[in-house]
Every structure is written in C-alpha cells, then in structure tokens.
Amino acid sequence: MGRYPNSRGPREKSTEKSTDLSSTYDYVTGLPTRRLFGTLLEQAIGRAGKTGRPLALLVVELDHFRMVAESQGQANGNVLVRVQAARVKGVIRSTETVARLAQDQLAMILDNLTSPGEVTAIVEKLQATVGLPLTLEGQELFLTCRIGVALYPQDATEPDELIKQAMRAVKAAKSEGQAVQFASPTVAVSSSEPVPVSSPFAGLLP
C-alpha cells in the first residue's frame, strides 16, 4: 500500500486548462472553474440575502496531489482528481455547486441551510469519502484532505472575500496540523474532534 508523506514536491509548471482563468469549465473534471465559481457564488449569496439563511463555502485541498502527479505522471494525476471530484460531488445535493479552483483544490457552496448539523455532516462525509482507497498503476493510495469553511454573512458578505476567508482557513488547517478549520478565529477543529459548527451559526439560523 502506498502512502505519501505530508511534504510536497516542488511546484511544477502545468499546462492544465483548469488553471486557465478564461475557461469556465475544467476539462479534467467537467466542474466549473474559479472564474465561473465566482459568478455562481455571487448568485448564491444573493439568494441567501433574500431568504435570510446562512451559506457555507467549503474549500477542499487534496493532500499530496502534486506529488502523485509528479511521481506517476500527469495522466494518473488527472485520474486522481477526476475520481476525487466525483466523490466530493456525490456528497452534496444535486442542486449545490462544486468547482475546481486549482490543481488540488475543490470548492463547494452549501446554501439554504436549515441547521448547523448540515455542515457538520458534510464535513464528516467529505473526510471519509476522500479517504477511501484509490488504486493507480496497481498501487493502493490512501489520501487525505484539508477543509476550510467560511460562512456568509458571519465571515464575509462579498464573494471574493468569502473565498479568501475559506482559503485562509485551509492554510491555517495545514499550518496547525488540523483536518478542518473554520474562518472564524474562535473555531478550531481537528479530525479527532467533533466539528463545532453550532458556535459560528449562533444567531444566524431562524
């Protein structure tokens, strides 16, 4: 069984169309790219503003993706992200949005939330789903992910700022050795502890 260490190899130059900001759909996964995701997030925030219900933006960063792409080739790297994208998409409702922001980053919009437990359940499912074994070239891989969560309107009310908050949360999770991190500074989550979403949602749900 193959396991990859937490360290990443050098960032390689890539010609993937997913990094092309002029594209609206990623050619590997078929998911919206960051360019289109910004528009979809803006629309979701508009709906949330009308309904008064909070919205959650999750950024999922796949650990070790670049090492797999470098060691096993771009084709296998594409297979890896395609499988993981399908897994992530299968966790949420068909009406909700999943996008590919970067080579190793997926994002999702959870809107029309009715209870704090919805975010908890999604985070737990994401960790379990991404962690399922995947076989490439006869080698069984077990991968993990980091998840950053930003909430509207608590953490930000503008699309770009909400994305930045979720990105900062992912970075904090990595630096602090956690699997999940909320943008709210008072919330910190580790993979071995329950995800305390009740605090950031306090006063936001009707």
The Cβ-side half-sphere exposure at 4, using a 13 Å CA radius, reads 25
CB 122 within 8 A of CB 28: no
Rounded CA-CA distance 172/187 in Å is 11
28-201 is a CATH 3.40.50.300 domain: no
Residue positions counted in the chain: 206
Which residue matches tokens 């590997």? 28
Average pLDDT over residues 10-39: 72
Which residue matches tokens 């962690």? 131
CB 166 within 8 A of CB 183: yes
Whole-structure pTM value: 0.78
Rounded CA-CA distance 169/92 in Å is 21
Amino acid, res. 22: S
Rounded CA-CA distance 42/97 in Å is 12
For residue range 78-132, what is the model confidence (pLDDT) as tens digits? Answer: 888 899 999 999 998 888 999 999 989 999 999 988 877 788 889 999 999 999 9
For residue range 149-203, what is the model confidence (pLDDT) as tens digits? Answer: 999 999 999 999 999 999 999 999 988 989 999 997 544 443 334 343 333 333 3
